[in-house]
Structure 1
Amino acid sequence: MKSSLRLLSALGLSLCITTLSAKELTVYTYSSFTSSWGPGPQLKTLFEAQCDCTLNYVSSDDGVSLLNRLRLEGASTRADVVLGLDDALMEQTRALGLVQPHQLELSNWPLNPDLAWTDTDFIPFDYGYFAFIYDAHKIETPVDSLEALLNSDASIIYQDPRTSTPGQGLMLWMQKVYGDDVQQAWQRLARNTVTVTKGWSEAYGMFLQGEADYVLSYTTSPAYHVVAEESDQYQAALFTEGHVAQIELAAVTAPSQNVELAQAFLSFLLSEDAQTVIPTTNWMLPVRTDIELPEVFLQTQPQRIGFSPEETEAGRETWLRTWRNAVSR
């Protein structure tokens, strides 16, 4: 069966998956993925047409909340696939024993070599770079570094690193740039912070309502406004020190009894059909190199900085404690 799945993967799942005994697949993911404007509905339709099965989504607010839910449920979880964790959560998830090997041959897909992805438990399905978004109709000269942002009087909204993957991304960004001086940097940022939200959707919605000058999001976020609204009003501030990248992942859960169907879904996520859907619904970059993108996606390619998944896992608790201490003062 594993060799059959690899063959199906290489063919982009062009054949119907008729040999799989399981007829339902439960995927835990985040709420914006399953929203009417997210990639979830289209991917569900495409996969169900190929697998002759029912794909069920169960959503949480954000990636960190997703991991917390899986951890609490443990062996009793209904999830067959977890979709929406990222490379910063990968080692923690693996150490908790929440996933199992995907058994896919990743060389069957034209994955972006910059990702250098060889992991045996997780597959990547999209990626992007964290950035602060601003309204170009209000701000003519945006800040060009974290230091400039902290020195400004601009109002800021970002997400909680305990519950949100973008919030965790900012934690890594701050840690990389400021190192031992990061607690003082967090205190400086706190002076300009309007609020810290639980997840991305709430933060971005507040920003669009004019409640802050900058919001933590992605360099690809302006692409939504260009493609969907034909507006270049919202832009990403490019920072001279570089930007932390996020690779979003999917994996088969350890307790799943639908392993073959779950593996087929992971193969589907890497197919040309699925990867074509993701950029203009999830507003992230595809992991395949052969996907044609709107020009706006190609205009911003920042320098990548940050930590390895292993470094992140080793430092996470200390860095979270530093953040909590700094913002509670």
Structure 2
Amino acid sequence: MRTIISPALMIAGCLTASTVLAGGKPELIVLAPDYFASEWGPGPRIESGFESRCGCDLRFVTGDLLSRLRLDGGAGADVVIGLSTDQTAAARATGLFAPHGLNLSVLTLPVAWTDPDFVPFNWGETAFVYDRTRLPDPPDSLQALIDAPDDLKIVIQDPRTSASGLALVLWVDAIHGDGAAEVWRRLRPKILTVTPGWSESYGLFTAGEADMVMSYTTSPAYHLIAEKDDTKRAAIFPEGHYFMAELVGRLTSSDQPELAGQFMDYVLSEDFQKMIPTANWSYPAVMFEGALPPEFAALARPEKTLFLPEAQVEARRETAIATWRKEMTE
């Protein structure tokens, strides 16, 4: 007979075991998205940078952040990193986060940020990315994309499982409001597929399966820097582009509150922030001198940034998703 162990106990058991394995050093447990701790994610560089100054062991535990917080309240973790700006209300509702107490005046975001619990460590704006060799004349506005022939093929992400997918439906909702259903009705023939997450969509795009992919204005920086490829571009729309940041917060249940506080300080440090452009392929939340590689200067930037405060996101989220789902499935 197979013994069934609850996910909460499995997570708690892993965290307890890691404390024993820390070899006498204090250990900081950081909950993060799956991509974070991969070899191509920012986790390894952050881990190395923080451990070099804290005299501790930092360990990432990855997965769906909100699901884990709701399931087991963090299960011994100290810090959560990688929540999006569209998740703050849901995360705050868990009652698990402690005020960060940091000076946010150092932030260099295109929007005001005064949240007492969550600190941005990077930011970007959503955009449809294309390959100029395959699509030399891309849509130059959201309306032009809506009006484009149906043989233009785009790939997007599911807003129920993807932060970028949720940002897309909120972006459309912010611009078109009650007219969003008509937008999705007209876009549907152009949508090649809807993937659970960003990586699947972007892989289809880079494989040549689609003309455009829902991504970020900073995505072409990866191709410029890592691949020396200047063919990928972000289509810039005059209607404005949706702002997103990834956030970090410390948990009230942490048994290493001082170490968690040190990590929060580290997030806004020059060392951490200078990693972000090439470790997370996004803009740093604090723009230190020399933080951006010169290739970032070639990136197109929108003139208008759209940002929905938490209350507006919560007021519109379910309607925006329901409208999208109805038009995608009927």
* TM-score normalized by the length of structure 2: 0.87
- Correspondences of 1:1-329 after superposition (within 5 Å): 23-60=26-63, 65-74=64-73, 77-107=75-105, 110-112=106-108, 114-152=110-148, 153=150, 154-292=152-290, 293-299=292-298, 300-302=300-302, 303-329=304-330
Give the distance between the partners of 2:62 and 2:207, measured in 1 at CA.
Answer: 25
SS in 2 for 1:88: helix
Are the aligned partners of 1:275 and 1:291 in contact in 2 as well (CA < 8 Å)?
no
Residues paired across the two proteins, number: 302
Are the aligned partners of 1:245 and 1:304 in contact in 2 as well (CA < 8 Å)?
yes
Tell me how far 1:120 sits from its aligned partner. 1.1
Tell me how far 1:87 sits from its aligned partner. 1.5
Question: Unaligned stretches of 5+ in structure 2?
Answer: 1-23
Tell me how far 1:325 sits from its aligned partner. 1.6
Question: Unaligned stretches of 5+ in structure 1?
Answer: 1-20
Are the aligned partners of 1:226 and 1:232 in contact in 2 as well (CA < 8 Å)?
yes
Deviating above 4 A after TM superposition, structure 1's stretches of 4 or more consecutive aligned residues are none
1:233–1:111 distance in 2 versus 1, CA, 3 Å: same
Are the aligned partners of 1:22 and 1:261 in contact in 2 as well (CA < 8 Å)?
no
Cα deviations by residue, 1:57-107 (Å, 9 ceiling, x for unpaired): 1223xxxx3222322223x52332111112211122112323221122334
SS in 2 for 1:143: coil
Give the distance between the partners of 2:111 and 2:289, measured in 1 at CA.
Answer: 15
Are the aligned partners of 1:133 and 1:234 in contact in 2 as well (CA < 8 Å)?
yes
1:140–1:114 distance in 2 versus 1, CA, 3 Å: closer
Letter in 2 for 1:119: D
Letter in 2 for 1:308: P
Are the aligned partners of 1:159 and 1:197 in contact in 2 as well (CA < 8 Å)?
yes
CA RMSD of aligned residues (A): 1.7
Give the distance between the partners of 1:214 and 1:326, measured in 2 at CA.
Answer: 20
Letter in 1 for 2:61: V
